[in-house]
Amino acid sequence: MNINCLFDSGNIEVIDASDSKAIKLAIRNDSNSEFKQWFHFRAHGEIGKTYNFEITNAKECSYVDGWKDYQVVASYDGDYWFRVHTQFSDGKPLAFSHQLEQSTIFFAYFEPYSYQRHLSLIHQAQHSELSQHIVLGQTVDGHDIDLLIIGDESRERKIWVTARQHPGETMAEWCAEGLVERLLNEDDALSQSLLQDAVFYVVPNMNIDGSIRGNLRSNAAGANLNREWQNPTVENSPEVYHVRNKMKEIGVDAFLDLHGDEGLPYVFVAGCEGIPSYDERLKYLEEEFSLILKSVNPDFQTEFGYDKDEPGRANLTVANAWVGEEFKCLSLTLEMPFKDNANLPNRETGWSGDRSYLLGQTLLNPLYQLVKKLR
């Protein structure tokens, strides 16, 4: 079997691919970092033959609980991704098998979102009269940091959405695509009504370098961008540095930071209950946001999620905490599963790009209901 990962978001190391019954692989660390969990590679073999794969360093990955009940995603065309039966037990490799229906197949940790698709989303948006494309600066590797401004900048409420600070959380950019495309749909009454009161500032991919490099959590300098919001630097975290500066220039009345979670098989949000300025108004907005989103999208739930921060104990290096404190606004981290939504499982695909896209569209519903109450 021939295995290759020399492409956008590729990550695998081949230890031994000589025995189809035990193809031994390892996941490479993120750039200049100890994080690892994202993998994406292309395998070429004999049609009809079954191949057994072992990711030998799964037990040394960043979120080992992420392998519990996890199923690898696979695709023959890079468009339709399905789950393959996967086994993991403590101390053992992550093991999965597949009988080839075609000679070449892709395997990944989650449905990839390519840089080419990112560029296409930006080009699609700039063709709309509703949207402007701004380059905020460059990443460590020199890629453009793309901001989409959707709506009329004279509108009163400024709503910011960032996605994929953690590059391996590709569901975040699928979700951002759904939100952007609904905003650009001039036949959509809800989004067009919302744009009468608000203008959106959307960064669909906060970590272009890490995405292309096949990182899980880091940028090219090894920084975890979601721990850089208190003191970003143009050298190590230019992505946060430039976005934060633009936020200070424009202001923020609501903020959503889109992520994926390795362990919890649920869609949930984390608020900013631990920031010093948290008050009844922010509590009300967070609770209303969740109630409305639950009512329009049963994929979202509030029973499972992160432990709440104690009062005054929020980590202000985290995006939603820093933004909430700086702008005293509704500020949420949205999490989607790498596994599946345990409440509404899809055996064929698990959680997917499509379900992330649909969730992104429905994020506009609570924002529409709350836009006049944000201040």
Binding footprint of ligand GEM on the chain (CB under 6 A): 166, 226, 259, 261, 270, 306, 309, 318, 333, 335
Rg (CA), the chain: 20
Looking at the Cβ atoms of 318 and 367, the one nearer to ligand GEM is 318
**Under the criterion CB under 5 A, does residue 242 sit at the interface with Zn ion?**
no
**Under the criterion CB under 5 A, does residue 328 sit at the interface with Zn ion?**
no
Looking at the Cβ atoms of 169 and 309, the one nearer to Zn ion is 169
From the list ligand GEM, Zn ion, none, which binds 239 (C-beta under 5 to 8 Å, kind-based)? none
CB of 254 to Zn ion, least distance (A): 19
The only residue of 213, 259, 328, 339 in contact with Zn ion, by rule CB under 5 A:
259
- Residue 186: CB partners within 8 Å, gap ≥ 6? 130, 192
As a whole number of angstroms, the distance between CA 331 and CA 324 comes to: 5
Catalytic-role residue among 111, 228, 325, 335: 335
Element (H, E) at 292: helix 280-296
Region near Zn ion per CB under 5 A, out of 121-129, 243-251, 257-265, 349-357: 257-265
SS3 349: coil
The strand pairing partners of 270, in sequence order, are 333
Nearest residue to ligand GEM by CB is 259
- Pairing mode of beta strands 72-75, 82-84: antiparallel
Is-contact 121 180, C-beta < 8 A? yes
SS3 175: helix
Region near Zn ion per CB under 5 A, out of 96-104, 208-216, 253-261, 288-296: 253-261
The only residue of 42, 164, 166, 339 in contact with Zn ion, by rule CB under 5 A:
166
- The DSSP symbol for 8 reads T
CB of 226 to ligand GEM, least distance (A): 4
How many other C-beta atoms can be found within 10 angstroms of the C-beta atom of residue 16?
A: 11
CB of 69 to ligand GEM, least distance (A): 18
* Residue 335 is a catalytic residue: yes
Q: How far is CA 83 from CA 45, 97, 105, 127, in A?
A: 19, 11, 13, 35
- Residue 226: CB partners within 8 Å, gap ≥ 6? 165, 166, 257, 259, 317, 318, 319
Region near Zn ion per CB under 5 A, out of 18-26, 159-167, 262-270, 277-285: 159-167
Looking at the Cβ atoms of 111 and 261, the one nearer to ligand GEM is 261
**Tokens 């509030």 -> residue:** 302
As a whole number of angstroms, the distance between CA 144 and CA 270 comes to: 29
Region near Zn ion per CB under 5 A, out of 14-22, 169-177, 280-288, 294-302: 169-177
Looking at the Cβ atoms of 169 and 228, the one nearer to Zn ion is 169
Q: Which two tokens stand for residue 367?
A: 């924002």
# residues near Zn ion by CB under 5 A: 3
From the list ligand GEM, Zn ion, none, which binds 335 (C-beta under 5 to 8 Å, kind-based)? ligand GEM
Interface residues toward Zn ion, by CB under 5 A = 166, 169, 259
Residues classed as catalytic: 335
